[in-house]
Amino acid sequence: MFEFGGLTALMLLLALLASSFRILREYQRGIVFMLGRFWKVKGPGLILIIPGIQQMVRVDLRTMVFDVPSQDVISRDNVSVKVNAVVYFRVVDPAKCILQVEDFMNATSQLAQTTLRAVLGKHELDEMLAERETLNADIQQALDVQTDAWGIKVSNVEIKHVDIDESMVRAIARQAEAERERRAKVIHAEGELQASEKLLAAAEILARQPQAMQLRYLQTLAGIAGDKTNTIVFPVPGDFLDLLKARGPATGA
């Protein structure tokens, strides 16, 4: 009977010793509590825990990722859109993430949802569609500031989709078409302006050189002389008339 009791006690002691050891991987840390009070952070490797007196909570230090559910956002120009995103974060202070917040994963997710709505609500729809990198940085910075007290570092935020109503899609298409037409008119006007400047410069040059004007006139006549299907009426330069009048009397003599 004594031997049986001794064997039972030995087995209980071995089981107690076995339950006292914990193995933490390289990316894990153990938050150890002594009689309910925080004691220290341990790991990685082999950890010894006194059963009944000490308790340990494991914390993963790897980068975690979660999807932010689609959020209804009203932009600054009063357009309703649905936006979802993905958040990347990691624990940098294992003690804070256990002592300062009950469930740091859920708390970070809820905070990301509210921050997403708050930040995007300050911007217009065009900015949401065209400046995602800037918005990502703004959301990441806002989240990182608030989660710092929890020992969490938000490393990146990416907006995945910005869904807008079909009627708004058509309105954006019309706006884009109007913008293209405006640019085409501006380019055409700039071309007309450049052409008028070139014509003005050419006119000034021809005005300073009458011979050049006559040469240009003759070139124009040579160009239209080959067309025999139409009758062309063109003015005679005054210089030619003056020349004919000057030679008239001399020829008659």
Answer yes or no: do 70 and 128 share one domain. Answer: yes
Domain extent, residue 156, equals 64-164
CB 38 within 8 A of CB 93: no
Task: With respect to residue 89, please indicate whether it lies within any of the assigned structural domains.
Answer: yes
Answer yes or no: do 78 and 154 share one domain. Answer: yes
Using CA atoms, how far residue 97 sits from 43, 93, 94, 102, 238, in Å, is: 16, 7, 5, 8, 98
Task: With respect to residue 237, please indicate whether it lies within any of the assigned structural domains.
Answer: no
Rounded to the nearest angstrom, the gap between the alpha carbon of residue 105 and the centroid of all alpha carbons in its chain is 26
Task: Compute φ and ψ for 93, nearest 5 degrees.
Answer: -135, 95
Cis before 94 (ω within 30): no
Single residue among 123, 147, 164 that ends a domain in this structure? 164
Answer yes or no: do 42 and 116 share one domain. Answer: no
C-beta neighbour count of 190 within 10 angstroms: 10
Task: With respect to residue 226, please indicate whether it lies within any of the assigned structural domains.
Answer: no
CB 39 within 8 A of CB 32: yes
Answer yes or no: do 70 and 152 share one domain. Answer: yes
Q: Strand, coil or helix: what is 194?
A: helix
Task: With respect to residue 222, please indicate whether it lies within any of the assigned structural domains.
Answer: no
Answer yes or no: do 133 and 74 share one domain. Answer: yes
Answer yes or no: do 43 and 107 share one domain. Answer: no
Using CA atoms, how far residue 179 sits from 76, 77, 175, 187, in Å, is: 21, 19, 6, 12
Single residue among 132, 164, 196 that ends a domain in this structure? 164
CATH number of the domain enclosing 76: 3.30.479.30
DSSP for 133-147? Answer: HHHHHHHHHHHHHHH
Please tell me the distance from the alpha carbon of residue 58 to that of residue 45, in angstroms, as a whole number: 12
Answer yes or no: do 29 and 90 share one domain. Answer: no
Task: With respect to residue 36, please indicate whether it lies within any of the assigned structural domains.
Answer: yes
Amino acid in position 129:
L
Looking at the structure of the chain, the number of domains it has is: 2
Task: With respect to residue 215, please indicate whether it lies within any of the assigned structural domains.
Answer: no
C-beta neighbour count of 43 within 10 angstroms: 22
Answer yes or no: do 158 and 103 share one domain. Answer: yes
DSSP β-ladder status, 64-74 and 45-48: unpaired
pLDDT tens, per residue, the chain with 253 residues: 556 666 777 777 777 777 788 889 999 999 999 998 999 999 899 988 888 889 999 999 999 999 999 999 988 888 889 999 999 999 999 999 999 999 999 999 999 999 999 999 999 888 888 899 999 999 999 999 999 999 999 999 999 888 887 766 677 667 777 878 888 888 988 888 888 888 787 777 767 766 666 666 666 666 666 666 666 665 655 555 554 465 555 444 3
